[in-house]
Amino acid sequence: AQSVSQHNHHVILSEAASLELGCNYSYGGTVNLFWYVQYPGQHLQLLLKYFSGDPLVKGIKGFEAEFIKSKFSFNLRKPSVQWSDTAEYFCAVNAHGNNRLAFGKGNQVVVIP
């Protein structure tokens, strides 16, 4: 079964700072990769996903993630955060053909105005 690691559970940064959240997974086969976000008081929603093609994926609200197969990583980035990016971010992975998602423990991100 695949597992997902997210480090630095709590991240605090100022507006306009750059954000990078790490995500590593353990699975040797072909995978699909997702980042979900939960804003305060809102439903968990998809930020972006990768399943094939260009390993640099762009999502909503200026976020992007890069799949590096050799490093088993799918790190999330945003060059300049806003206060409204305060949320909890979850990385998730499944194997091709298997819809069972494995989630990481999440990153709680707080952006200070």
Nearer to another protein, 10 or 70 (CB): 10
CB 50 within 8 A of CB 65: yes
29 binds another protein (CB under 8 A): no
> Largest Cα–Cα distance of the chain, in whole Å?
43
Instruction: Choose which of 59, 76, 106, 111 interacts with another protein (CB under 8 A).
Output: 106
Residues of span 48-77 touching another protein by CB under 8 A: 49, 51
Q: CA 9 to CA 2: how far, in whole Å?
A: 20
Instruction: Choose which of 7, 79, 98, 110 interacts with another protein (CB under 8 A).
Output: 98
Nearer to another protein, 97 or 113 (CB): 97
3-state DSSP call for residue 24?
Answer: strand
Instruction: Choose which of 35, 90, 109, 111 interacts with another protein (CB under 8 A).
Output: 90
Residue 73's nearest CA partner among 43, 96, 50, 39 is 50
Beta bridge partners of 87: 109
Helix (H) or strand (E) holding 1: none
Which residues of the chain form contacts with another protein (CB under 8 A)?
A: 1, 4, 6, 9, 32, 34, 36, 43-46, 49, 51, 90, 92, 94-106
